[in-house]
Structure 1
Amino acid sequence: MHFLYVDESGDPGRYNGSNTPHFILNGLVIPEEEWAAGLARMLAFREGVKQATGLPKKVEFHSSELIRPHKLDAYKQIHKSVRVRLLRDFVGLMPTFFPKARILSVCLDKQQLTAETNYQEIAWRLLLRGFDAFLKSQNQLGLVVSDDTNETALRLLFRSMRKESRPIIAILEDVVCRQSIHSYYVQAVDAIAFCLYQQEYPKGSTRKFNLHQLFKTLDTMLLKTAAPADPQGIIRA
């Protein structure tokens, strides 16, 4: 059994020049036998963060807030250089947190697709197909857990994919939606999605921290067979 934890970066709406020109989905594939140990390692990491900075473990580890706090006041009490280091440490330790985990990535460039495209549906189709193919190759079954999103649309999409000529067969149940504040695993994949965003669409304000290089530190975890033509296995459309 494998769990796929999913989070997105960018908005799924039509690109109009003021919103994001991309839509990214990242999935963290966790084998069931590694789940408890991975959680324990993240808890230990958060305990260390609490001791060093005073940040309570119940405060969501949210990557964009670590860089530029807007909603979480607890981050405003921590110097920016320290927050950036926390993000770098968290991402850098992931191969140790989850030694057998894999990362599945989908990146859509909206400007290369038609304006009428349902970007979210396309990205989820690619992600679910990629996870299903991985599960079949491992002779395993899986469950998908996503950060809160359009649960109704996902349920309809997933059920329709079960009935297609090439049906999804290795993924059990509908996509389960969780609030990220209640799941350290969803918070982990939020950091992964943030790193891929920074790599694909780096901003001047974050370049000085080399955040656009962070995704490369996850190279050993990338499921490169998902898209063999891409050096990082990123599924693109």
Structure 2
Amino acid sequence: MYLCYVDESGDTGMSGSPVDRYILTALVVHELRWLSTLDQIAEFRRHLRERYGLKLREEIHAYEFINKPGKLARIAKSLRLHILGETLRFMATLEDVSLFHVSVAKAAKPQDFDVFGTAWQYLLTRFHNGVDKQSFAGPHNASEFGLVIPDHTDEPQLMKIQRKLRRYNPIPSRFGGYRDYPLRLLVEDPVHRASIHSQFIQLADVAGYFLKQSYSPAAYIKKKGGRNWIDRLDPIRYRVAAPASARAVKEI
């Protein structure tokens, strides 16, 4: 089974929103490599504790790291940025994970555009494609299924979307019209996890934050040369999901 950890960046608001994009970041790992990958993450977190004083139980949440550090203000802002940079470099070494994004640009879309539903439909379909083709990094079983594990979001709405797509999922055909591609390999409803309890979701959060910075960098990130740090993740990008994108991003 493939496990798909998902984190959101931005919001879905079409009016009065301070952000112009809604981004979903997916980090996929196979059950056969889940524990060994978690062990690698734990070793990396011990390194961060020894070098920067970041406790194992403290969450890596990129936006808060830079803008609202709270108790983490004991670590200098420049060092908090170094932690995020090291996290990206560490992620790039994980040979058994795959990373992809869905990015919705809200500008020029009608006010009734369904940002949340559209983004999640693309993400779930692309994850299902990878499960079906067994094309994610790492090993695979003779037959495969997938489980979606997002950070807390609009749980009822996401459950409704996945249940519908499991039965009916019309997608455009290159021969014209549509074909039905139900997501029958995704088991259960999405199983939500608070990011503070999931090291995998925290990694997805950092990746999503720096993808957002590549579009519209914050002044501090731009000053420190971090606008294109997302490119450090090139080794783990799942290009099958978005072959036309250099950053494995489905642009909507």
TM-score range, shorter chain: over 0.9
Which region of structure 1 is more displaced relative to structure 2, 22-31 or 224-233?
Answer: 224-233
Deviations 1:156-205 (A, max 9, x none): 11101111132111111111100011111111111111111111222223
Residue 36 of structure 2 is matched in structure 1 by 37
Q: TM-score, normalised by structure 2?
A: 0.88
User: Retained in 2: the 8 A contact 1:22–1:107?
Assistant: yes
Gaps of at least 5 residues in structure 1 are none
Question: Is 1:102 aligned to 2:102, yes or no?
Answer: no
Match of 2:208 among 166, 180, 193: 193
Question: Is 1:92 aligned to 2:96, yes or no?
Answer: no
RMSD (Å), alpha carbons: 1.4
Please give the secondary structure, in 1, of the residue aligned with 2:92.
helix
Superposition deviation, residue 101 in structure 1: 1.1
Match of 1:124 among 120, 126, 142: 120
Match of 1:210 among 215, 225, 242: 225
Aligned residue pair count: 233
Alignment of 1:127-166 (within 5 A): 127-138=123-134, 140-164=144-168, 165-166=180-181
Gaps of at least 5 residues in structure 2 are 135-142, 169-179
Alignment of 1:10-49 (within 5 A): 10-16=10-16, 18-49=17-48
CA distance in 2, matches of 1:187, 1:231: 23
Runs of 4+ in 1 over 6 A off after TM superposition: none
Q: TM-score, normalised by structure 1?
A: 0.94
Please give the secondary structure, in 2, of the residue aligned with 1:174.
coil
| Closer, same or farther: CA 39–122 of 1 in aligned 2, 3 Å | same
Q: By percentage of residues, which structure has more helix?
A: 1
Match of 1:177 among 167, 170, 192: 192
Please give the secondary structure, in 1, of the residue aligned with 2:192.
strand
| Closer, same or farther: CA 56–173 of 1 in aligned 2, 3 Å | same
CA distance in 2, matches of 1:214, 1:15: 30
User: Retained in 2: the 8 A contact 1:104–1:130?
Assistant: no
Please give the secondary structure, in 1, of the residue aligned with 2:184.
coil
Paired letter, 1:34:
R
Please give the secondary structure, in 2, of the residue aligned with 1:191.
helix
Deviations 1:119-153 (A, max 9, x none): 01110000000000111111521111000111111
User: Retained in 2: the 8 A contact 1:106–1:126?
Assistant: yes
CA distance in 1, matches of 2:157, 2:185: 20
CA distance in 2, matches of 1:214, 1:140: 33
Residue 80 of structure 1 is matched in structure 2 by 77
Identity across the alignment (%): 30
CA distance in 1, matches of 2:56, 2:113: 40
Please give the secondary structure, in 2, of the residue aligned with 1:190.
helix
Please give the secondary structure, in 1, of the residue aligned with 2:163.
helix
CA distance in 2, matches of 1:112, 1:34: 42
Paired letter, 1:3:
L
